Amino acid sequence: GENVEQHPSTLSVQEGDSAVIKCTYSDSASNYFPWYKQELGKRPQLIIDIRSNVGEKKDQRIAVTLNKTAKHFSLHITETQPEDSAVYFCAAQPKLFGSNNNDMRFGAGTRLTVKP
């Protein structure tokens, strides 16, 4: 099955700086990589996702890059704001349906703090 590692576990940045969170995965069959943001006491929310046929995707201040050869993908947040403070989870899912090994695996999470 898939194994996803996420680093760092905590990240503190000054408002306006950039933040980068990295994840590695083990299953080369994984082809869908979402990122979720979870604020304290709230439900996770999808902020961006990428599929394996794309190397980079951007949505305003958020971007995700994928290196299939190295099996790692990263979340980049530019011009951080205090409201970006949350726990961010990466995930990876293989593309095969109907298999017990086709579950979505999550990273352990990164607690991002943006200091004003």
Partner 1 sequence: KAGVTQTPRYLIKTRGQQVTLSCSPISGHRSVSWYQQTPGQGLQFLFEYFSETQRNKGNFPGRFSGRQFSNSRSEMNVSTLELGDSALYLCASSLAGTRETQYFGPGTRLLVL
Binding site for partner 1 (CB under 8 A): 1, 32, 34, 43-46, 49, 89, 91, 93, 95, 97-100, 102-109
d(CA 111, CA 39): 10
C-beta closer to partner 1: residue 80 or 107: 107
Contact 105/91 with Cβ under 8 angstroms? yes
CB of 46: closest distance to partner 1 in angstroms? Answer: 5
DSSP letters spanning 24-44: EE--TTEEEEEEEEE-TTS--
C-beta closer to partner 1: residue 64 or 80: 64
